[in-house]
Structure 1
Amino acid sequence: MPLRDLLRSARPRQWIKNILLIAPSLTSGVLPEPRPAARLVVAFVAFSLTASGVYFINDVRDADHDREHPTKRLRPVAARALTPRLAIAVGALLVATGLLLGLSIRLGSVIGVYAAVSLAYCFLLRNLVVTDLLAVASGFPLRVIAGGQATGATVSFWLLVTTCAGSLFVVTGKRYSEAVVFGAAKVRIRPSLSRYRVVHLRLAWLCSVAVAMTAYAIWAFGEGNAFSAMSLIPFALALLRYMEAINGARAAYPEDLVQKDRTLQALGMTWLGIFAARGFA
């Protein structure tokens, strides 16, 4: 059992999602002091460990379906490089450690809800139409809420609406891409796709991105400062870029898309730079 298989099952590339923890601090224009910043680091580790633990357990649950997938069949559990018993043991340990870290910085309730919803999705919610999409999308706003609690920064209502709509945009875009790419094989690879029509998934991501754009614009102009208003430009362009990827059925793996698309990265860095400049202004 090489350490490499354990690391692959932990999916560290997914940890990029935890960058949302810094959103409340950045958008409030206040860079965290050393103590809140340290809590933010602990929150990042806690979410990363909890998410990785869920991935181990989910891989055991999905092993049979993953073996039908062109790339997921190479996952250690699906490829039988890791035994289900070991994967569950490691997963449980990681989830417990993440919860303990969360408790140490008074984020136990948020991380607990995240773990509960994620595990419920593994065993039950994935079979419920629409609820499965909401369950997956819920992880993003929970990270934003945790970031606000960790640093004491205020989480704007409209910013939270943006996060909720944006996360649903990413999730429905992922399902749409999977449905288009896998075609007739989609039911064997992801059974839940049998309950969705491609046209309905397309409508879902179009509606979600419209709500995200509108909510962000309301927040940006409502803040009453040039930095927030300017941030609408890279935000809108990033959404349009991501829409292009979904429309081309290239968003089945959002983390890969974000890590490989230089345009998305440049827009993200521009957005971060605007708020970093506001913090030092």
Structure 2
Amino acid sequence: MTERTHATGPAADGAPRGDRGAAAALVRACRPRQWLKNLLVLAAPAAAGALVRPEALLTCAAVFALFCVAASGTYLLNDVNDVHRDRAHPRKRHRPVASGTLPVPVAVTTGILLCAAAPLASLALGNPPLSALVAGYVLLTLVYTRHLRDVVVCDLVAVAACHVLRAVAGGVAVGVPLTPWFVIVVSLAALLVVVGKREAELRAGGDAAGSADAVRPTLRGYTAAYLTQTRTMASAAMVVTYCLWALDQSEGPRTLFHAVSIVPFIMFVLRYNLLVDRGVGEEPEEIALRDRPLQLVLGALVVLVGLGIYL
């Protein structure tokens, strides 16, 4: 008798099959590693000293979850839209949609449901401005996927704006004021990360003629020199703005901890720029998870700012 194999067993090449394999592929396509970006919702409440309140922590946790749902929905739809480009990319071709482990109809259906669920669920918090921000995030991301990603400079601004919306949403949800210093520093930091990502993509794909164009057409409109200059400009402006915030007494008393925090802040910016120059900025979340020196200076920055705010 011939031995039968079950549909739920592993494939000959080791890839999972059946419901468990499809579920695993769906989870991977939701990119849980990139949920790290949604911690930006904590920035404004933390800077305002509001995280000592349990209700503020619960609200921030709910907003974090909302943006994780929204982001995962947009990632799925983005992967469907980019399936042909991703298959031409040496790393992105392994994504579940591009590799075929996640069927396109499943990705589309789940993506639409998640994109709709996040704004609708936000209504339960009874905060209309927050719901508008979540809906605006979803809308901006979808417009970026369909149109803005192929428009030079607009693609940088759109992605950076998505980061800023996360940070603003955290402040709006908890009801803390958003100072000009905060918005400017977050905006410049977001631009720095996005430009670094584009620069790394250009370097990685530009060695082979046309390969970068096939994956991201806007790379044709950039040069490495332009992106480096933009990254330098954003870094310098962000450092100056942070120093002005740390030393400014007009919006509340500043302590020695605020002043000393300038040191790890500058070290953080310098380290990040060094990593981008080495060509590893294509996945910013991977840098945050793996680079120990960057983690150390970021930890020192958080501790010093926290001591200045909460003591």
Tell me the TM-score normalized by structure 2: 0.87
The 5 A counterparts of 1:16-55 are 16-55=36-75
Q: Secondary structure at the match of 1:115?
A: helix
**Correspondence for 1:235:** 265
Structure 2 regions of 5+ residues with no counterpart?
A: 1-18
The 5 A counterparts of 1:198-209 are 198-209=224-235
The amino acid of 1:43's aligned partner reads: V
**Correspondence for 2:27:** 7
Counterpart CA distance in 2 for 1:141 and 1:43 is 14
The answer as to whether partners of 2:150 and 2:216 remain within 8 angstroms in 1 is no
The 5 A counterparts of 1:142-157 are 142-157=165-180
Q: Deviations over 1:207-249 (max 9, x none)?
A: 1111111111111111422232222221111110000011111
The amino acid of 1:268's aligned partner reads: L
Counterpart CA distance in 1 for 2:124 and 2:301 is 31
Counterpart CA distance in 1 for 2:121 and 2:231 is 35
User: How many percent identity over aligned positions?
Assistant: 34
Counterpart of 2:204 (choices 159, 181, 184) is 181
Counterpart of 1:225 (choices 255, 267, 277) is 255
Q: Does 1:159 align with 2:182?
A: yes
Counterpart CA distance in 1 for 2:260 and 2:176 is 21
Q: Which structure: larger Rg?
A: 2
Report which structure shows greater RCO (CA 8 Å, sep ≥6).
Answer: 1
Residues 279, 211 of structure 1: alpha-carbon distance in 2 compared, 3 angstrom cutoff: closer
The answer as to whether partners of 1:50 and 1:95 remain within 8 angstroms in 2 is yes
Higher fraction of helix: 1
Give aligned pairs, total: 281
Moved more, 45-54 or 25-34: 25-34
The amino acid of 1:77's aligned partner reads: V
The answer as to whether partners of 1:32 and 1:151 remain within 8 angstroms in 2 is no
Q: Secondary structure at the match of 2:136?
A: helix
Counterpart of 1:210 (choices 216, 232, 236) is 236
Tell me the TM-score normalized by structure 1: 0.96
Q: Does 1:130 align with 2:130?
A: no
1:279 is displaced (CA, Å) by 4.8
The answer as to whether partners of 1:20 and 1:140 remain within 8 angstroms in 2 is yes
Runs of 4+ aligned residues of structure 1 deviating over 3 Å after TM superposition are: none
